Amino acid sequence: MSKNLRGNFKWMAIAGASLLGACGAPGDENPVNGDGLAQGARELAARDVSVRLSADKATFGAGEKATVTVTLTNDSRHAVKLLKWYTPAEGLEEELLQVKLNGEDVEFTGPHYKRPAASEKDFLTLAPGESLTRTVDLGEVYDLSRTGSYTLRFEVETQKLHGNSAKAGLLESNDVNVWIEGRASARPADDVTSLTGSISFSGRCTTTQQATIMDALNAASAMADNSMAYLNGTPSGTPRYTTWFGAFSSGGWTTAQTHFAAIKDAFDTRPITVDCGCKKSYYAYVYPNQPYTIYVCNAFWTAPMTGTDSKGGTLIHEMSHFTVVAGTDDHVYGQTGCKSLALSNPTDALNNADSHEYFAENTPLLQ
């Protein structure tokens, strides 16, 4: 889910077809076409789509929703397909807006998702001249606790992934300035309904689901133990490390070791809540500043217990997001994307949730 979209591979949209998708699914090839693009597809250029940001009023009191309206318009002569996750079609599921207060970045407090690879249903199509308009509440996903003048901009990179080539452009809106009176977080406290030891369940988890979650937590704990055993060994550029975290450095090794020590400690000693209320097609999500609650979604229940994109691995992924654990981001998703990131940017790989998951799952086995 991301502190800043600039430089991330998070806007995935092409004209006329789906592209190599989003979050890790086994093999993580394009569901439309094995080489990552549907036949005849063209890359979406930033000039094909324009974005306008507006607000109905210039000042929002603490008791009012701080709403802005985002309009995406297809200015080209051909239809374009956009991955819904990185549009406001279903709200702000990602950090689509750059929000600043007195020139300082405002924290994105929204959920960080793990999703299956994108399929056709995850795209929307805009005909030539057609617009998508949505009004969104900033307070749901940004920290608006301070009073002041906020500057807002919609800003996302276009990105086509096709083999080893990548070509990016920036899709951005006009700036909007609004005065917002500080308010409390929009996130309500979780309603915990049952408790088993240090593990709580909410969202009406069934008895069967609770048993599955306990097995998944045990699997995740075992993965964390295995990862720590590896990282407590002699630091070196072995394939397991370099595949997921890039070129060896003593500093990078120490970072990975610190992260997995915190992940292991969280699974072993912290009070974890798992919520079963999510009905989205995703695997899971968390709010990084609200440890240690993990919301599991539909894809979680059909994932294998261990192995690539597993139940146990999903919990590792989500646990790493918590600020008090490893504070990871979602720079790229899927094994192919993570391997490429390790080669191009080891620093980001060490900050990437899926990279931690695949290191822990260790499938295929690497020494």
pLDDT tens-place string over residues 299-348: 999 999 999 999 999 999 999 999 999 999 998 889 998 999 999 999 99
Q: What is the mean pLDDT of residues 19-35?
A: 37
Least confident of 11-15, 192-196, 236-240, 245-249: 11-15
**How many Cα atoms occupy the beta-carbon half-sphere of 334 within 13 Å?**
21
Cα 177–Cα 86–Cα 342 angle in degrees, nearest 5:
110
Beta-strand ranges (E) seen in 176-302 are 176-180, 192-196, 199-202, 272-275, 284-286, 293-296
The pair of three-digit structure tokens given for residue 311, joined into one six-digit string = 């139940």
Residue 126, judged by CB atoms within 10 A of its CB (0-12, 13-18, 19+), counts as buried
High-pLDDT (> 90) share of the chain, %: 70
Residue 158 scores a pLDDT above 90: no
What pLDDT, on a 0 to 100 scale, did the predictor assign at position 365?
94
Higher confidence at residue 14 or residue 58? 58
Closest CA to 118 of 282, 228, 357: 282
Q: What is the mean pLDDT of residues 280-307?
A: 96
Higher confidence at residue 351 or residue 83? 351
Contact 63, 139 (CB under 8 A): no
What pLDDT, on a 0 to 100 scale, did the predictor assign at position 32?
36
pLDDT averaged over every residue in the chain: 84
Residues contacting residue 38 through CB under 8 Å, at least 6 positions apart: 16, 17, 18, 19, 30, 32
Q: What is the pTM of this model?
A: 0.81
Contact 26, 364 (CB under 8 A): no
Closest CA to 27 of 364, 281, 365: 364
d(CA 25, CA 118): 9
pLDDT band at residue 218 under the 50/70/90 scheme: very high
pLDDT band at residue 81 under the 50/70/90 scheme: confident
Q: Indicate the Cα dihedral angle 301, 303, 304, 309, nearest 10°.
A: -140
Residue 297 scores a pLDDT above 80: yes
Least confident of 174-188, 227-241, 284-298: 174-188
What pLDDT, on a 0 to 100 scale, did the predictor assign at position 186?
66
Residue 195 scores a pLDDT above 60: no
Highest mean pLDDT among 23-37, 145-159, 190-204, 260-274: 260-274
Residue tagged 């600020």 (tokens): 323
Contact 130, 76 (CB under 8 A): no
Residues with a known catalytic role: 318
Question: What is the enclosing helix (H) or strand (E) of 301?
Answer: helix 298-302
Residue 1 scores a pLDDT above 60: no
Residue 230 burial (CB count, 10 A): 19
d(CA 169, CA 82): 15
Residue 361 scores a pLDDT above 90: yes
Residue 230 scores a pLDDT above 70: yes
Q: What is the pLDDT of residues 31-53, one digit of tens each?
A: 333 333 333 334 455 578 899 99
What pLDDT, on a 0 to 100 scale, did the predictor assign at position 181?
97
Q: What is the mean pLDDT of residues 199-207?
A: 93
d(CA 215, CA 210): 9
d(CA 206, CA 256): 35
Residue 265 burial (CB count, 10 A): 13
